Amino acid sequence: MRRMRMRMMRMRRAGAERGYPGRAWLYCWLLGWQAAALQLPPCEETDYHFEYTECDSSGSRWRVAVPNPSVECSGLPDPVKGKECTFSCASGEYLEMKNQVCSKCAEGTYSLGSGIKFDEWDELPAGFSNVATFMDTAVGSAENKADSCNNSSWTPRGNYIESNRDDCTVSLIYAVHLKKSGSVFFEYQYIDNNIFFEFFIQNDQCKEMESTADKWVKLTDNGEWGSHSVTLKSGSNILYWRTTGILMGSKVVKPVLVKNITIEGVAYTSECFACKPGTFSDKPGSSGCQVCPRNTYSEKGAKECTKCKEEMYYADEGSSVCIERPPCTNKDFFQIHTPCDKEGKTQIMYKWIEPKICREDVPDALTLPPSGERKDCPPCNPGFYNNASSSCTPCPPGTFSDGTQECKACPAGTEPALGFEYKWWNILPGNMKTSCFNVGNSKCDGMNGWEVAGDHIQSGAGGSDNDYLILNLHIPGFKPPTSVTGATGSELGRITFIFETICSADCVLYFMADVNRKNTNVVESWERSKEKQSYTHIISKNASFTFTWAFQRINEGQDSRQFINDMAKIYSIMVTNAVDGVASSCRACALGSEQSGSSCVPCPAGHYIEKETSQCKECPANTFLSIHQVYGREACIPCGPGSKSTKDHSACFSDCLVSYIKDNQSLNYDFSNLSQVGSLMSGPSFTSRGTKFFHFFNISLCGNEGKKMAICTDNITDVTLKDMVAESEDFSNFVGAFVCQSTIIPSDSKGFRTALALQSNSLADRFLGATVETMLENISIKADVFPPSPSKIPDVHFFYKSSTVTTSCENGRATVVTMRCNPNKPDQGELSVPSLCPAGTCDGCTFYFVWESAEACPLCTEQDYHEIEGACKKGFQETLYVWNEPKYCIKGVPLPEKRTSTCETVDFWLKVGAGVGAFTAVLLIALTCYFWKKNQKLEYKYSKLVMTTNSKECELPAADSCAIMEGEDNEEEIVYSNKQSLLGKLKSLATKEKEDHFESVQLKSSRAQNI
């Protein structure tokens, strides 16, 4: 029956929305008939309330009666025409629905008129919801990531709501339907740029509204509340407060705090809101509630605050109850020193921490120790003198003092070394102030955050353990000494302080700097207990600075004083070159050429003071002027290898030209084509929770007259891009250096619409030198950082240094860029980091890069090519020149052109020689044949003669000679031979026959003989 009645009610509302009163009457009649049939009791005014139907297309609506939950009755009032949809009451009023008129809110309540306000955060208000996701889908399973963020949410903390502290993405969501255009306003604290905070609005189609184009919320200073306001359009608006933590190290991010969310444009308020506990409203028609003063309290909807019995109870401002006062302990009082009197004495005084909340009249309670013990006053700080009075006053201009003696004028040729050196803490110096702040309450408002204690200044008691105890030092500007006014070095001054923290909990000491009162940025922070140590911060621009030390014992929302003995101590603070500073000593200065008044004159840039004449003299070539002294020739420091000084001798830089002699051969390098900024993105890397990120580096290697061209910026900052361009010098997240680094969160890693750049810092702001050696100024390159080069060409190492000192890098960071010749990588080549250290560094202090490129090869010389001679063709011969392979050089000496020269195919005398040789050879062959043939004939004749003689004896007496045949030669001589001829020997060898040797006698005869 109940479900049927509700369905009838929805049908009636639907009819009213369409503007059909007759049909609405029909539904009411049916409902009444049904109630009569069930015999329900008649409705009374307390059984129902009035609501408006949804607006129709004409902008009208109906007022209808709706039964209260768990009420069943009959006879509800009939629907009537309602106020127009854009109607609203003024602030302090509400729309009384019975008569549809605006009425003033009663005492103890308030109204914003057309708005709603959320200022109570004891629990999540109705309508708000939390959605936690892990946006990175690069590593691990989706289930594990979803489970890992189940416990992440926005947490109510009473007066405000606090975001998550991990690297999950958590959205605080509220949906509102506006009848007319309105706005949303809220206050927030956002101090940690390691968490991204965005506020945006979507419509009911989940599309972002145009008004949220600048959705990134600006950072706030520590301890200060910022405000953010966005215009809302009529219709459905879904509001998102979304945070995403980026945990790059072990530090936990500082959460975002939001309070006092106010939404305007809800058209009407049908009831007033009761004042929350701890506040009251004593007048009708109030638009807000007032906070109860100290030692009073109030409950919800109070018209006035009730006083506590102060003897036994106390209450802070805005309390809802009175708290019983505890017994006093040593945590409820502190010790101070009074200002010095005329006798040079100070008294030790003990004071209760205000407001005093403890009782001395109960058992075991401590009483305040006696005060008045007199001690000698510490001397004045350097640059001050008491002049026989009870207070220290600064020395007049042009004078100096160490704090114990009277102020004296600086001698001729010197000037005061202006600055501040605070090492005695009897009273707080005039340019310092202290305060206390708590994000959730006002307990410590008006308290001193720090107290002087003789030889140090220490953090005070505060109102609770999570207070910020603030100490400020204001310096209106920085000015170098007169003699170096023209210098353009990177250091104008520095601040150095010695401190110590003694903690039993998770305390934090912050050191912050505010430039020109625009934004306070954390320079460095120290967690938990730290031994006594020194820290120095370099000032590189002339601006108004406010330095802040903020100490917080714990970062949890609680009002207790459990760790009051945890404290921070600062022993000394020293600032150099302060504009309104005092002097503890004098330094030499340059005198004008005409010493009419012996006044100091500024030296031009790059000039030192010559000791003998006290005149300005320019530093020699390739030296730079020290930023710490300008007196004497030793103030000019030689530049490192492969570097030269700027025109003003303020620094050294590389002109991209490097020379090296190897094996009596000079290697010359020209890196000019690599003078543009080189970029490298290494990674990806992942946090412990799986968030993907990259390390991005920009490197300005050389050239550009020593200008630092590498720029890194954060794109999620406290200023817009337009502001950054207009005021780049004041942009705290704008880093210009020789080498700089940023951490990049890709757009697909956290669901952002663009990649995020954060944690930009400088790795190199001073060039040391370029050399092939592996060590320079105590910076060394390990042999196993990069694999060895495949070529015999030596690598050239560019050494850089960063002056920024961090807790982990006491000597600052260093960077080495190794230039390696690689002909296979033309133009810009390739930058890389060590494979074992994807972040570019293995210890966080020294960074290594290798830049492989053909442009890193030495310039070519005559030894890098050889010639090849061609054959002589048609009287011409070509000589070609080719590079030695592999080629490990560029530019330099060009390859000579092809050379052509005349030539003869065969030489004249060669021709003569060849002819004579050929003729001689033919002649010898002919003679050989002739004599061989003749010898054959002779052998034949001789053999025949011998055979004839042996076979037949002659009857006649021996003749003088044998007959000679016709045609035969008649030789007159007798030849005896017992040797074979040469041809005979050859013949016998050929036939392998053994013949007898004969002794032959050739006879001479005039007559013929027949044989």
Residue 684 preceded by cis peptide, ω within 30: yes
pLDDT (tens digit per residue) in 615-624: 888 888 888 8
Higher pLDDT, 956 or 559: 559
Least confident of 30-34, 343-347, 454-458, 1007-1011: 1007-1011
pLDDT attached to residue 172:
92
pLDDT (tens digit per residue) in 942-994: 888 888 877 655 444 544 444 444 444 444 444 444 445 555 554 554 454 44
How many Cβ atoms sit within 10 Å of the Cβ of residue 23? 15
Whether 654 and 767 have beta carbons less than 8 Å apart is answered as yes
C-alpha torsion sign, points 357, 360, 366, 367? positive
φ/ψ bin of 649: left (φ > 0), alpha (ψ from -120 to 50), beta (otherwise): left
pLDDT attached to residue 393:
86
In single-letter form, the type of residue at position 37 comes to A
What band does 479 get if pLDDT is binned at 50, 70 and 90? confident
- Give the percent of the chain with pLDDT over 90: 15
Token digits of residue 462: 């505060």
- In whole angstroms, give the CA distance from residue 382 to residue 411: 18
What band does 811 get if pLDDT is binned at 50, 70 and 90? confident
pLDDT attached to residue 553:
87
* Three-state helix/strand/coil letters over 911-980: HHHHHHHHHHHHHHHHHHHHHHHHHHHHHHHHHHHHHHHHHCCCCCCCCCCCCCCCCCCCCCCCCCECCC
Residues 6+ apart with CB under 8 A from 635: 608, 609, 619, 625, 626, 629
Whether 496 and 574 have beta carbons less than 8 Å apart is answered as yes
pLDDT attached to residue 279:
92
Give, for 991, the enclosing helix (H) or strand (E): helix 982-991
In whole numbers, what is the pLDDT of the chain averaged over residues?
A: 78
Interhelix angle 2-17/21-38, rounded to 10 degrees, is 170
- In whole angstroms, give the CA distance from residue 537 to residue 880: 64
Higher pLDDT, 339 or 255: 255
- In whole angstroms, give the CA distance from residue 165 to residue 167: 7
pLDDT (tens digit per residue) in 180-214: 788 899 999 887 777 778 888 887 666 665 554 56
pLDDT (tens digit per residue) in 224-262: 788 898 888 888 888 999 888 766 554 556 788 999 999
pLDDT (tens digit per residue) in 283-302: 999 988 999 998 999 999 99
pLDDT attached to residue 105:
92
Higher pLDDT, 846 or 783: 846
Q: What is the DSSP letter of 42?
A: B
Residue 858 preceded by cis peptide, ω within 30: no
Phi and psi torsions of 845, nearest 5°: -120, -35
pLDDT attached to residue 799:
94
- In whole angstroms, give the CA distance from residue 386 to residue 393: 6
Give, for 986, the enclosing helix (H) or strand (E): helix 982-991
Residue 329's Cβ-side half-sphere holds a number of Cα atoms within 13 Å equal to 9
777 pLDDT above the threshold of 90? no
Please tell me which of 555-569, 932-946, 967-981 the model is most confident about, judged by mean pLDDT: 932-946
307 pLDDT above the threshold of 90? yes
Token digits of residue 924: 């010898």
Token digits of residue 597: 């008044």
Name the 3-class secondary structure at 987: helix
- In whole angstroms, give the CA distance from residue 239 to residue 98: 32
Name the 3-class secondary structure at 801: strand
* Three-state helix/strand/coil letters over 305-366: CEECCCCCEECCCCECCCEECCECCCCCEEEEECCCCCCCEEEEEEEECCCCCCECCCCCCC
Strand pairing of 814-821 and 846-853? parallel
pLDDT attached to residue 247:
63
| Mean pLDDT, residues 677-684 taken together | 85
| Mean pLDDT, residues 574-590 taken together | 86
What band does 376 get if pLDDT is binned at 50, 70 and 90? confident
- In whole angstroms, give the CA distance from residue 669 to residue 691: 42
Name the 3-class secondary structure at 988: helix
CA torsion angle for 100, 101, 105, 109 (degrees, to 10)? 20
pLDDT attached to residue 216:
72
162 pLDDT above the threshold of 60? yes
**Residues 393-400: contacts with CB under 8 Å, at least 24 apart:** 394/582, 395/582, 395/583, 399/583, 400/582, 400/583, 400/584, 400/585, 400/586
How is 446-495 classified by DSSP, letter by letter? TS-SEEE-BS-EEE---SSTT-EEEEEEEE--B---GGGTT---S-SEEE
pLDDT attached to residue 253:
67
- CB-neighbour burial class of residue 760 (10 A; exposed 0-12, middle 13-18, buried 19+): buried
pLDDT (tens digit per residue) in 62-96: 889 888 888 888 888 888 888 887 788 888 888 88
pLDDT attached to residue 496:
93
φ/ψ bin of 840: left (φ > 0), alpha (ψ from -120 to 50), beta (otherwise): left
| Mean pLDDT, residues 804-819 taken together | 84
What band does 549 get if pLDDT is binned at 50, 70 and 90? very high
Higher pLDDT, 330 or 981: 330
* Nearest CA-CA partner of 607 in 650, 645, 652, 576: 650
Whether 242 and 216 have beta carbons less than 8 Å apart is answered as no
Token digits of residue 362: 């109960």
pLDDT attached to residue 158:
81
- In whole angstroms, give the CA distance from residue 397 to residue 407: 10
pLDDT attached to residue 498:
94
* Nearest CA-CA partner of 334 in 178, 218, 449: 449
Higher pLDDT, 469 or 612: 469
| Mean pLDDT, residues 646-657 taken together | 87
Higher pLDDT, 448 or 909: 448
Measured at the CA of 389, the angle between CA 383 and CA 391, to 5 degrees, comes to 55
pTM: 0.63
Token digits of residue 509: 């000491």
| Mean pLDDT, residues 674-694 taken together | 80
Residue 826 preceded by cis peptide, ω within 30: no
pLDDT (tens digit per residue) in 750-766: 555 566 777 788 888 88
- In whole angstroms, give the CA distance from residue 665 to residue 385: 67
pLDDT (tens digit per residue) in 97-148: 888 888 999 999 998 888 888 888 888 888 899 888 765 544 444 444 445 6
Beta strands in 74-127 (DSSP E): 80-81, 93-96, 101-104, 109-110, 115-118
- Using CA atoms, how far residue 398 sits from 411, 416, 469, 600, 739, in Å, is 10, 6, 37, 11, 42
3 pLDDT above the threshold of 60? no
526 pLDDT above the threshold of 80? yes
Residues 6+ apart with CB under 8 A from 435: 447, 448, 449, 470, 472
